[in-house]
Amino acid sequence: ESITCLDVGYNASDDPCVFIATADTDGGDFGGVYYLPEADPGAEWTDLQAGSYDVYAIAGSPEFKGDSQIIAIVTDETHTYVINNYGVVGEWTSGVELLEGDVTPFTITAASDIRFPSDFDETYKLFIGVVGAGGDVYQVTSVTSGAAYDLNVDTDIISLDVVGEAGNTQLLAGAAGSAQIYLSTDGGSNWAGSAKPPTGGSKTYVLMAP
């Protein structure tokens, strides 16, 4: 079992809450999500009991200070889901499934950071890049009752950044298996690869100015 990702949220008192996620590559064994209230003297890691999943991305929502919402990208070694929790051990949603071409289930082996539009509190939407049989960028609308949409970059994505409001977002994605980067200026409807990729062989990490 190894740590795959981490995030830090700040509660209503502006105290840091540290979250880590893990995965276990052995078949039938799974990782988890763990939480540490860093401001509490003597605090220990708490297992948030996400279930039988390997976890490859985790993020506090942009409204974490008020709602304590944690969002995770997970796989049960057959399917891939986006699940969420509001700070209660074991109380995770059943989740929204990512489907290749919006049809076919798949499992993942890595993921980008979870990215949110600037108006997340008004329009519940997020974006994630994944590595696996259905490697691509996906848009998710509402983790509890929404749907996920394959945005058809058609390659494994290890990094992702987003700027703008929902409905008017620009996305920049970095390939996992090459040095290629991809840009969408229309919310993921269309993508253009760089004419001259950056140097390097693989695992391309991207960042956009806000």
pTM recorded for the entire structure: 0.94
Spatial neighbors of 166 by CB under 8 A, at least 6 apart, are 117, 119, 120, 122, 123, 125, 187
- In which band, very low, low, confident or very high, does the pLDDT at 25 lie, cut at 50, 70 and 90? confident
- In which band, very low, low, confident or very high, does the pLDDT at 110 lie, cut at 50, 70 and 90? very high
Residue ranges of domains in the chain: 2-193
Pair 74, 81: CB distance under 8 Å = yes
- Residue-wise pLDDT for 58-93, tens only, equals 999 999 999 999 999 999 999 999 999 998 999 998
Pair 204, 179: CB distance under 8 Å = yes
pLDDT number for residue 22 = 98
pLDDT number for residue 208 = 96
Spatial neighbors of 173 by CB under 8 A, at least 6 apart, are 112, 129, 137, 153, 157, 159, 160, 181, 182, 183, 184, 191, 206
Cα distance between residue 188 and residue 117, in whole Å: 13
- In which band, very low, low, confident or very high, does the pLDDT at 123 lie, cut at 50, 70 and 90? low
Pair 73, 106: CB distance under 8 Å = no
In this model, does residue 170 exceed pLDDT 60? yes
Query: Which is more confident, 107 or 143?
Result: 107
How many other CB atoms sit within 10 Å of the CB of residue 172?
19
The DSSP bridge pattern shows strands 54-60 and 70-75 to be: antiparallel
Query: In the chain, helix, strand, coil percent, each to 5?
Result: 0, 45, 55
In this model, does residue 167 exceed pLDDT 90? no
Please give the DSSP secondary-structure letter assigned to residue 176.
S
Q: How much of the chain, in percent, has pLDDT values that exceed 90?
A: 82
Please give the DSSP secondary-structure letter assigned to residue 122.
T
Fold for domain 2-193? Neuraminidase (2.120.10)
